[in-house]
Amino acid sequence: MKAKELVFFKDLLLQQRSDILNKANAFKEEAKQGDVQGDEGDLAVSELSLSLTLRLQERQAQLLSKVDRALAKIEEGTFGLCESCEEPLQLGRLRARPVANLCIACKEDQENKERVFA
């Protein structure tokens, strides 16, 4: 991969990382202010909202881990290579999902195996 492309992806990943951390900080601030009062319906809606927000935070934490791993791969010089077959990933795939670690063929194989063993 060209140096210019690596700089592009590093900047993109750093921006994603910053966005994830900002959302996490905003969630913490909201949680501190979150005294809900009202009837049982209000409390139920508040609890459901909190549950969905926590699930989203878990997904964001997983994405943060993937972003950090992709940034480490840029430093190691292995970014953009499939972790299974070691072939270069398509730039279109990396633009759509910069944390991708498998080429499309290997990802399809992985998903097929998951369906069989699920």
Local mean pLDDT, 10-residue blocks, the chain (118 residues): 94 97 86 72 84 91 97 96 97 96 96 90
Q: How many residues does the chain have?
A: 118
Give the burial class of 85: count Cβ atoms within 10 A of its Cβ; 0-12 exposed, 13-18 middle, 19 or more buried: exposed
Are residues 6 and 64 both part of a single domain?
yes
Does 22 lie in the same domain as 50? yes
**96 and 60 fall within a common domain:** no
User: Is the same domain home to 26 and 72?
Assistant: yes
* C-alpha pair distances (Å), 67 with each of 38, 72, 99, 107: 40, 9, 6, 18
Integer Cα distance of 54 and 36 in angstroms: 17
**Per-residue confidence (pLDDT) for residue 30, from 0 to 100:** 76
**Residue 88 pLDDT:** 97
Query: What's residue 34's pLDDT?
Result: 61
Residue 70: CATH number of its domain: 1.20.120.910
Containing structural domain, residue 113: 81-118
Query: Do 75 and 85 sit in the same domain of this protein?
Result: no
User: Does 86 share its domain with 75?
Assistant: no
Whether residues 41 and 92 fall in one domain: no
- Residue 44 and residue 9 share a domain: yes
Domain tally, the chain: 2
Tell me the C-alpha distance between 70 and 72, whole Å. 5
86 with 71, same domain: the answer is no
